[in-house]
Homo-oligomer: A and B are copies of this chain.
Amino acid sequence: MFKITFIGLGNMGLPMAQNLINAGNQVKVYNRSIEKAKNLTGNFKVCSSIKEACTGQEIVITMLSEDDILYQICDGDDGLLNNMESEAIHISMSTISPDTSRDLYKKHQQKKQHYLSSPVFGRPNAAADAKLFICTSGDDAIKQKVKPILELMGQAVYDFGTDAGAANVVKLTGNFMIMASMETMAEAFTLAEKQGLNREQVANFFGETVFNAPIYKNYGSLIAKKQYQPVGFKASLGFKDARLASKMALDAEMPAPLLNLVYNRLLSALANGNKDSDWVEGISGGVSKDAGI
Q: State the A residues within 8 Å of B (CB).
A: 98, 121, 133, 135, 156, 158, 160-161, 163, 165-166, 169-170, 173-174, 176-178, 180-181, 183-185, 187-188, 190-192, 194-197, 201-202, 205-206, 209-216, 243, 245, 248-261, 263-265, 267-268, 270-273, 289-293
Contacts and interface: CB of A to CB of B under 8 A. Distances in A.
A188 B171 CA distance: 11
A279 to B, nearest CB: 15
Nearest to A267: B255
Contact of A177 (B163, B170, B206): B206
17 contacts: A135-B205, A156-B209, A160-B197, A163-B196, A170-B192, A170-B197, A173-B192, A174-B210, A176-B187, A180-B187, A187-B256, A194-B253, A210-B213, A253-B270, A253-B292, A254-B290, A255-B290
B245 A170 contact: no
Contact of A209 (B121, B263, B290): B121
Given A191-B254, A253-B267, 18 more contacts: A121-B210, A163-B196, A165-B195, A166-B197, A169-B196, A174-B188, A176-B188, A178-B210, A180-B184, A180-B258, A184-B184, A191-B248, A210-B213, A213-B213, A254-B271, A255-B290, A272-B292, A289-B289
Contact of A173 (B98, B156, B188, B256): B188
Given A257-B260, A260-B257, A292-B253, A191 B173 contact: yes
Nearest to A183: B258
Contacts of A174: 188, 206, 210
Contacts of A249: 191
Given A156-B209, A214-B210, A271 B248 contact: no
A248 B273 CA distance: 18
Nearest to A186: B258
A258 to B, nearest CB: 5
Contacts of A257: 187, 257, 260-261, 264
